[in-house]
Amino acid sequence: MAGFSCLRSLTSLELSEVYITGDELGCLLSCSFALEELVLTYCKEITCLKIPCVLQRLSQLVVTDCENLEVIKSKAPNLTVFEYTGGVVEVSIGDAVLDIMISASGWNVVHYARAKLPQMVPNLETLDITSSLATDIPFSPGKFLHLKHLCISFMVSAGAFCPDYDYFSLVSFLDACPSLETLMLCVTQQSVEHDSVLGDSSHLRQMPGHCHDSIKDVKIIGFCSAKSMVELTVHILENAVSLERLTLDTVCYDLRCSDGASKCSVGNMNMIMEAHKALVVVRSYILEKVPSTVELNVVEPCSQCHAVEN
């Protein structure tokens, strides 16, 4: 191990597209006593990542697109930030973690987070999860007692996001987060195939008795006319007793001429039309539900770049 003596003072290690196996990395890490940050990107030879307990100072672990990775096990006692992008893996990261970001491909990570993370990381404060797959949120007795910030993103690069998905089922996730203060729901899709609330004569579903005492700020990006999304929004307005701000963003593009760009990002015409439907939904179903103590912000399609004929 004499050749690794220089690693004793190493505080940050970033490996990108490096041909290294899990065993070889483990040998290297076992000598890196001062390591505080470990970043692995496109290291496809690693199938099992094991972080030894000797890494007492390691606080941040970032793993991105290590395509053959199957297992992540960390015994680092002070790991507080875990970020992962990739496919399905078995994860064990210790109960000290406070912040988790998972962007998953081929993995229903929202379902996984609700079912597994309360027991695995009981002190979690911030959770940011992104998935292209979804099923309705399962009932689970576990709770995120300390979670304050939750961001759930559903993203598909083509077509519509899971037409059968029930956004209203996210209420069970909110029920599991008694300390939650901020919620962001982001839905990125190229068309909407969910059942629309417009033209639907049936009543909106309700869940009486579900009080969310701590939620102060809610933002829904990609707000649309999907009935279950409207039901979720109305539920929050009626049951988040500490709510201060609700933002409904009917568009999902980054560049906007109102922010100084010469022109807004080119939008998908299906979604531009849907954004205008969403404005009708806001006027018909949301405005009357907004308490006087809540600030409502509605982000509309650009009247110059994304106007449509009536």
Each residue's pLDDT tens digit, 171-202: 999 999 999 999 999 999 989 999 999 988 78
Token look-up 């409207």 returns 230
Predicted TM-score of the model (pTM): 0.92
Amino acid 195 reads: D
Residue 1: pLDDT above 50?
no
Each residue's pLDDT tens digit, 276-292: 999 999 999 999 999 99
List 234's β-bridge partners, or say none: none
- Across residues 64-88, what is the average pLDDT? 97
Each residue's pLDDT tens digit, 100-156: 999 988 888 999 999 999 999 999 999 999 999 888 776 778 999 999 999 999 998
Q: Label residue 253 by pLDDT band (50, 70, 90).
A: low
